[in-house]
Amino acid sequence: MTSKSTASCPTASDLAVPMQHWSLSVIKPDRRSHRLPAYLAGMFALCFTWLSSPGMAQNPFSPGLSAQNPLSQQPAFLDVDQAFSFYISLDGPDSISVHWTIAPGYYLYADKFSFGITAPANLVTTLIPVLPAGVKTEDEFFGEVSVYYEKTRAVLKLPEKSPEQFTLTIGFQGCAEAGLCYPPTRRDVDITQ
């Protein structure tokens, strides 16, 4: 007798692995999200075009581009000693004059002058200058003032029995008409009579 086996071979459905269910959603792109990259690309192209133009091909900080560089349109101001140069003359045993040459476009304030002498014993004496009449003007910082253009002269009377050697201290302040006012300036000059 033949015996028949009841065991059967597994079928394909028995071997199938259950599949997981995946859900896919389609995300529609927002049209506004594409604006930023397009804006940045446009700005990059604009900057590249501007920088590659013949006028900008040179170094923007070189002195030759002063007419093209808006930052260089400000006037160049003179050093205080170039704007207000002076020399001293001995007028006699009891008098000294300080002569100023004032650069064009600059002026000195009449009421900002100060003068003093320091003798070897460190004794300081204030001198009162004799000045010519200046030009009256309205100053935005000091109100109505008297100023000097081109040149001026201060005559100083020395004290009696002044030493043969002393230091003359000169104080002054001026401005450029283009808008720069220098701080009060002081110069010491050694004098031998």
pLDDT digits (tens, 9 = 90+) for 147-189: 999 999 999 999 887 788 899 999 999 999 998 999 999 999 9
Comparing CA positions, the residue from 5, 185, 176 lying closest to residue 81 is: 185
**In a domain? residue 74:** no
**In a domain? residue 36:** no
Euclidean distance between the first and the last CA atom of the chain, given in angstroms as a whole number: 156
Q: Which residues pair with 127 in a beta bridge?
A: 115
**In a domain? residue 162:** yes
Spell out the residues 6+ positions from residue 134 whose beta carbon is closer than 8 angstroms to its own: 110, 146, 147, 148, 152
**In a domain? residue 9:** no
pLDDT-derived band at 22 (thresholds 50, 70, 90) equals very low
Query: Cβ(161)–Cβ(125) under 8 Å?
Result: no
**In a domain? residue 30:** no
Count of the separate structural domains present in the chain: 1
**In a domain? residue 7:** no
Taking 70 as the threshold, does the pLDDT of residue 86 lie above it? Answer: yes
Residue 64 phi, psi (nearest 5): -70, -15
**In a domain? residue 92:** yes
d(C-alpha 88, C-alpha 173), whole Å: 18
Taking 80 as the threshold, does the pLDDT of residue 115 lie above it? Answer: yes
- For the domain that residue 152 is a member of, what is the CATH number? 2.60.40.1250
pLDDT mean over 75-88: 94
**In a domain? residue 29:** no
pTM value is 0.61
pLDDT mean over 125-137: 94
Place of tokens 């093209």: 68
Question: Which range marks the domain in which residue 148 is found?
Answer: 80-192
d(C-alpha 168, C-alpha 124), whole Å: 10
